[in-house]
Amino acid sequence: MRHLKRTNKWTLAFIIFLMSVAFINLVFINSLFQGVIETDHRQLISTTTGNIMLSPREEGALFGGVEDAVAKISRVEGITGVSDQIVLPAVIEREESRKNIEVWAVNPSREKRVTVIHEKVISGYYFRRDNEPGILIGKRIAYDEKPGGRSLIVKESKSVALQIAGESIELPVLGVFETLSDYADSRAYLPRSVIEDMFPEYRDKATRIIIKAAKRGGEEELVKKLKNTGLPGKFVTWQEASERSESLTESFVTINALLTSVGFMIAAVTIFIIMYVDITHKRLEIGILRALGIKSHIIATTFVLQTIVYSLFGVMVGAGLFFGIIMPYFRWKPFIIPIGDVKLAVVPADFISRAVAVVLVAIASGLIPAIISLRKRILDEILGR
């Protein structure tokens, strides 16, 4: 502590600030990638699969007895919403514009309890009645990419022609939604009643049922409960349904590991330079202490303790700046990327492990210049040679 008391206060503050920046760099990179992964998972659950998806065992098959299935699922503890869906390929046309899309025929009131589509309407409105004739379209359908900007091809209250399985129907556009998920924003929603009127064979049938749980995590236990209801079909959790998410996660884990390694190297070099400069300025003091008979390992321990103090204060200041300024700022102004609005996400175990790692790196980086200095002859230390 005597060494620290004799250190210039501004120098000490600058050293701690550098340590805090090195720590923030490590934590920020990890929390950003965690935020991207969390956003991708949240988008998948809230717009496409729910927490659990029930699909027919055979590809392309349909469920029968949908109303009975929805009633059974709804009675399972831990389930907060169930939506039966009919997913069909279609062609949407207006004037000279034509696009191949997917239409999702749903019960609008049930869909509201499972997905967030009704919250993402940016123009027009969501279905006001379960049997309201009309179509709700994603922004990627509503806008056509053209050189020089975007041209609106569909507006709410305008009608569009929809071709499904050789049948054609004209429907008013009730609204346009935008979730920032490319997959979700490339589909259109219809009430089930429209499809059932066009194709009576779809009555009380669905291509899949998506299920919302009261909380994320523990889906495997819910699947066991759902299987006990005797419902036919294949239960798939959102984790199992997301090959894209797994690929994204693996990619970001690799990038995160690489950048973390670079971050630790930067932290190590920063601490090494700080301690090397500090020890160089105290060579006379070190030489005198050794001449008085102070053991070299005691002097080395003093400098190691000094680096520990620097690193601990650096971690505390860095944590304060991160949680007090950086996290709130990015909650207010998140990163906007194609999969959604990304906010920083902190995993407590990762945060603690990085804090401990910074201290350990500091110890190693502080010990090396101390050992180098103590291997010199006492007279060279005193004379500064």
SS3 sequence of the chain:
CHHHHHCCHHHHHHHHHHHHHHHHHHHHHHHHHHHHHHHHHHHHHHHHHECEEEECCCCCCCEECHHHHHHHHHCCCCEEEEEEEEEEEEEEEECCEEEEEEEEEECHHHHHCCCCHHHCEEEECCCCCCCCCCEEEEHHHHEEEECCEEEECCCCCCEEEEEECCEEEEEEEEEEECCCCCCHHHEEEEEHHHHHHHCHHHCCEECEEEEEECCCCCHHHHHHHHHCCCCCCEEEEHHHHCHHHHHHHHHHHHHHHHHHHHHHHHHHHHHHHHHHHHHHHCHHHHHHHHHCCCCHHHHHHHHHHHHHHHHHHHHHHHHHHHHHHHHHHHHHCCEEECCEEECCCCCHHHHHHHHHHHHHHHHHHHHHHHHHHHCCCHHHHHHCC
223 within a domain of the structure (yes/no): no
Last residue of a domain, one of 175, 190, 205: 205
Asked if residue 39 and residue 114 are part of one domain, the reply reads: no
Which pLDDT score, from 0 to 100, does residue 212 have?
93
Residue at 93 is within a domain: yes
Mark whether 29 and 150 lie in a shared domain. Answer: no
Tell me what pLDDT residue 114 has: 95
* 266 and 379 part of one domain: yes
Could you tell me if 122 and 174 lie in one domain? yes
Answer yes or no: do 254 and 197 share one domain. Answer: no
Residues 32 and 110 in one domain: no
> What was the pLDDT predicted at 126?
95
- 89 and 39, same structural domain? no
Residue 361 falls within a domain, yes or no? yes
- Please indicate, yes or no, whether residues 162 and 35 belong to a single structural domain of this protein: no
Regarding whether 280 and 345 lie in a shared domain, the answer is yes
The reply to whether 110 falls in a domain is: yes
Q: Write out the residue range of the structural domain in which residue 296 sits.
A: 2-43+245-383
Domain count, the chain: 2
**Is position 52 within any domain?**
no
Residue 59 lies in a domain: no
Residue ranges of the chain whose pLDDT lies below 50 = 147-152
Residues 287 and 169 in one domain: no
Determine the pLDDT at residue 147. 46
Predicted pLDDT of residue 151: 45
**63 domain-assigned:** no
Looking at the fold, whether 177 and 264 belong to one and the same domain comes out as: no
331 and 258 inside one domain: yes
pLDDT of residue 53: 92
212 within some domain? no
Q: Which tens digit of pLDDT belongs to each residue from 73-84?
A: 999 899 999 999
- 80-107 pLDDT per residue, tens: 999 999 999 999 887 777 888 999 999 9
State residue 372's pLDDT score.
Answer: 65
Q: What is the pLDDT of residue 121?
A: 93
